[in-house]
Amino acid sequence: MTPTIGIVTFPGSLDDHDALRAVEVCGLNAKPIWHGSDDLDGVDAVILPGGFSYGDYLRCGAIARFSPVMGEIIRRAEQGMPVLGICNGFQVLCEAHLLPGALIRNDVRTFVCRDQLLRVESVDTVWTNDFTEGQEISIVLKNGEGNYQADAETIRRLEGENQIVFRYLQQNPNGSVNDIAGVTNQRGNVVGLMPHPEHNVEELVGPSLDGRGFFTSVTRFLERVSA
């Protein structure tokens, strides 16, 4: 049976429909989930999309973290359900403590929007197992607060336990420590990154199709666990 991926819409989400389309383009079932629901309605995995949840008031993702749906997402993620946080979704995952660290204002003090070259650092996650370690991919980047930071001990742990998933290549666009573009939890089922793979699945709208690897990866994982 074809897996179903739920895409959460918060007030202020703007890439939720892009994520829904990307899921469908990559051959999966997509199901919208409203932030006010406390039921994931039988989905196999969840994507927290990009945007400006609750207008980015207080801190990016800080209010969205307390949406009713997040209680169930946290519970299911701790049981192993795949969760992908993209841009604002990454910020929400950090605020919910499903991922370590925090995202702060870009060091260049401007919104950055460009095609970004990344290196895949870990293929030991639900969302990256169809890539190869060291593979270089091009993914759209667009953020104003994508500067990933954590205390020195957390960074040492992430580096030592293979929890850095992506690094920026050629130029660090936002000041993230150690050029970190994405991280995972210890179990490898929760991944967050600032670039937008949902914008790189169709030739019409992107210079690469590298975003498809995220969706083929989760498909492989879900098919394996359901076999």
> How far out from the chain centre does Cα 84 lie?
4
Q: Select which of 26, 60, 121, 196 is catalytic.
A: 196
Helical residues (DSSP H) of the chain, grouped into ranges: 16-25, 68-78, 88-95, 152-160, 212-226
Neighbours of 130 (CB within 10 A): 16
How far is it, in rounded angstroms, from Cα 63 to Cα 48? 14
Nearest in space to 10 (alpha carbons), one of 48, 38, 43:
48
Name the helix (H) or strand (E) containing 165: strand 164-168
Q: How far apart are CA 211 and CA 215, in angstroms?
A: 8
Which residue among 60, 87, 95, 199 is the active-site one? 87
Instruction: From the candidates 26, 94, 198, 199, give the one annotated as an active-site residue.
Output: 198
- Two tokens at 221? 């994982």
Structure tokens, 122: 């870990």
Q: Is 87 annotated as catalytic?
A: yes
Q: Is 196 among the residues known to form the active site?
A: yes
Active-site amino acid positions: 87, 196, 198
